A and B are shown apart, each in its own frame.
Chain A
Amino acid sequence: MSGAALSVETAPRTARQARDPLFLLGSAIVVLSLVLMVIGPWIAPYDVGRPTDDIAVPPPDLAEVPGLLYAVITGAPHEPIHWFGTDTAGLDVFSRVIAAPRTDVAIALGANLASLVLGSLLGLLAGTARPWLGALEMRLSDLVQAFPVFITGMILVTLAGRSFTTIVLTLALLYTPIYVRLTRAEVLTQRHRGFVDAARALGKGEAFLALRHVLPNALAPALIQASVTVGFAILMTAGLSFVGAGVRPPAPEWGLMIAAGADQIIQGEWWTSVFPGLAISLTVFGYACFGNGLERRHAR
């Protein structure tokens, strides 16, 4: 056979993509965020809801950190440590930062899971069902997507009652059209692929074709999108609570914590806002890197 064919153009690219540092970083952050979502509140050193006696204590100097770490590890007697300081109510910032994924990441994940499942099934329907049904679905998606995302989220969450569930449902509603669109576009390509016709020629039924051949091959773009959208959902969850239209205080939530510290930052008490913001910044960046890495892998 044509063993002589030189694959000069693909070989170096695969080698380069194998080591994608951003993807590794992203994966690590994603895993960490998921772990903290599950165990964050349990491993927090202080109760996230009960103020301590230390009001607005700054975090320890960088120079003290090694000594304090040593003390913690060896179990030597030491003063109570607030790694990230405490806020004006005396709440331990570190505990709240690592407990917050139970809210932020869980909302983002829940909303995306719901919209991914709903959206890809609707997308499959829109791509395979009768044309008028597909057209109707697309017009509805257009309509939902014409809404300004953040403001609509604010309205729905506030009027429906600010809670974990309403935020999840609101975000799921706003994100579903993204997945409908992506899946439908991919279904429309995949259903005309040769292997679908080949299976049809083998006497397979239409439902079998849609579920065994078309959908599995059409899911990749939606899954890649999901890993990026989870990040954006975290941004939105935090943003909503930042403007007072998200979860209610005193829940440990990154956006609420930034808002709580916003007034102090001008007076130099930077830590109450900086650490939760850093957590958002790194987490969302991690999900973006993860999604980007997945996309590159898929394109290969």
Chain B
Amino acid sequence: MPAEPLLSVRGLSVGFHGAIAVDAVDLDVMPGEILGLTGDSGAGKSTLGLALLGLTRPPGKLLGGHVTLEGEDLLALPEDELRKRRGSRIGLIVQNPRGALSPLHTVGGQIGGVLRAHLPLGRKGAWQRAVELLRGLGLNDPARRAEAYPHEISGGMAQRVLIAMALGAGPRLLVADEPTSGLDVTIQAQFLDELARAARAAQSAVLLMTQDLGIIANYCDRVAVMQQGRVLAPMSVRDFFAAPPDEYSRTLLSLRREAPPAPPAQETPLLVAKDLSKRFTLRGSGKVLQAVDRVELTLHRGETLGLVGESGSGKTTVGRCLLRLVEPSGGSIEFEGQDLVTLKPAELRRLRKRVQIVFQDPFDALDPRWTAAEILGEALEKRDPARIAELLALVDLPATTAAQHPRSLSAGAQQRLSIARAIAAEPMLIVLDEPTSALTPLARVGIVRLLRRLQEKLGTAYLFISHDLNTVEQLSHRVAVMYLGQIVEQGSRVQIFEAPRHPYARALLAAHLAPDPARRRIDRAPEAALAGEIPSPVDLPRGCYLAGRCPQAQEACRTTPQRLIALPDGRALRCAPEAARAMNTEPTLIAGGVLT
């Protein structure tokens, strides 16, 4: 590594009305490297990222320090000179890509605007260059995309537009602040691949700021941790994951390779859903959206079934159907011997408490006008202070929480309160709908541990719905993968995570970024990814829903709808060719399902 850093930060501080958000930060970025910067929400990463460009969100103020890029102290430059450096020498990509684009201007115009600010280009030339940049980033039909307004493109595409704007003028350093938050797993991986490739092609270094240690492990050369405004000394990624240097990273990585507590040895079916379907009729067009398509699910007492899939796969709707918060359009849900779908309202109300739900956004799930005690009291037959105290203790909340309103609790504490409300009804099953997705990484670890402990203690079964494969792996005994409203593969955790069979499940797991630098995605050739985009759920293909994107699709796949086929090793698979292959090579599979 060359001795001369590309970017050298010394003593950089940013304050908000007296509170210090970035505290005397020192940091070096070497030419051409990808340096990861991680840390919990609120550690000051985004503020630092902006400060490197001499910017703050109001009412923030740069309190001092030096940002030396290629030997030139940016913060000492006059404003107009500094402006010329932004975008041409140091580029920024932010989270919430669609919010970062003006809604009233075309994306091509916005890319062109940045190009014209830095390069000697006319309006027309800039537009052509913008189209070229979009083409280089793998967008098909870039000329038409350039005409689009931000609300007409997907989040992943908007993120690529930001890359085009940030890299268009060829800066030597790219600052990327949580560039993939909100993107689906497969799109995230594709995007990061493209980002790394584009940066490499432009010989730019990247400062990649993310909470996701999976991204750090798979893409970064070195990593630094930021905590409460301070940045700890960077170290190589391999060293970092081998021996996390600080409490924060150790806590986050503590769940690695730690299997969830074993389920009860005897499998007793608790809930069996058959042919569960949900169709929505769209207003206006009158088209029918098939959100859930003949889903078959079995949950056993005391076990966790992970339900994974990308946005729009229908996993959340399945969870809501199980409680009839959404009325299923068809199928049956047998629970403790009764069919929930045909139950009369009064009986349903009584039985409902046996199945509870925890939502993604904990603040949204708690009535802001009620205190914690009132919220828990709603779930109890009578409001018993002793029982409320017991419940709070069970989820590790202090007894004083009882008198507090949700607003005064942290997101993690709110989610604990939500969980306490769910277990207050003494359910047999809790539907956990992305319960960790809105939390900071640190709070997430706490919730995962809490859920494990509660299951051990109370024997409650979980349906754990999430797009976050790491958390699913940490909690689930069995896993079901959904695509466009259907379950495409179901099996044990090991089967799905170690050897997925369905082409979609394979693509999904290949895009999974594990916090483990042993098999870095950046170092291996990308596996055969799925082509094209997810079909619209109002206009589904006749045969296999994946046929249009599947590298192994045969002619029959396009015309024959696929059934869920049970394999001898306990999996279920919605792919006839792959199932046939599995049957033929059956001898290589051991009863437990681990591929030898």
Contacts and interface: CB of A to CB of B under 8 A. Distances in A.
Nearest to A300: B407
Interface string B408-449: 001111000010010001000000000000001011001000
B16 A197 contact: no
Given A2-B41, A2-B410, A6-B229, A198 B17 contact: no
Interface in A180-207: 193-195, 197-205
B368 interface: yes
B356 A201 contact: yes
A7 B418 CA distance: 22
Interface stretch (B160-168, B258-266, B346-354, B480-488): B346-354
Given A6-B21, A194-B359, A203 B349 contact: yes
Nearest to B424: A202
A6 B357 CA distance: 30
Contacts of A201: 323, 325, 352-353, 355-357
B533 to A, nearest CB: 28
A216 interface: yes
Interface string B217-245: 00000000001110000000000000000
Nearest to B430: A201
B378 interface: yes
B365 A4 contact: no
Interface in A209-226: 213, 216-217
A200 B325 contact: yes
Nearest to B42: A5
A199 B364 CA distance: 12
B368 A217 contact: yes
A266 interface: no
A6 B20 CA distance: 9
B353 A202 contact: yes
Contacts of A5: 40-42, 410, 440
Contacts of B21: 6, 8
A9 B16 contact: yes
A11 B20 CA distance: 12
A195 B228 CA distance: 33
A1 to B, nearest CB: 5
Given A203-B350, A203-B352, A6 B19 contact: yes
Interface centre among A3, A8, A217 (most CB of B within 10 A): A8
A194 B361 contact: yes
A12 interface: yes
B59 interface: yes
A106 B442 CA distance: 56
A172 to B, nearest CB: 28
Contacts of B410: 1-3, 5
A62 B442 CA distance: 68
Given A12-B16, A201-B352, A202-B425, A217 B440 contact: no
Nearest to A216: B369
Nearest to A4: B228
Nearest to B407: A300
Interface in B359-395: 359, 361, 364-369, 375, 378-379
Contact of B412 (A2, A202, A205): A2
Nearest to B416: A1
Interface in A2-51: 2-9, 11-12
B573 to A, nearest CB: 32
Contact of B359 (A7, A8, A197, A200): A197
A200 B379 CA distance: 10
14 contacts: A1-B413, A1-B442, A2-B42, A6-B19, A6-B42, A9-B16, A11-B19, A12-B19, A194-B364, A195-B366, A195-B375, A198-B366, A204-B378, A217-B367
Given A193-B364, A202-B421, 10 more contacts: A1-B412, A2-B40, A2-B41, A4-B228, A4-B442, A8-B16, A11-B19, A194-B361, A197-B325, A216-B369
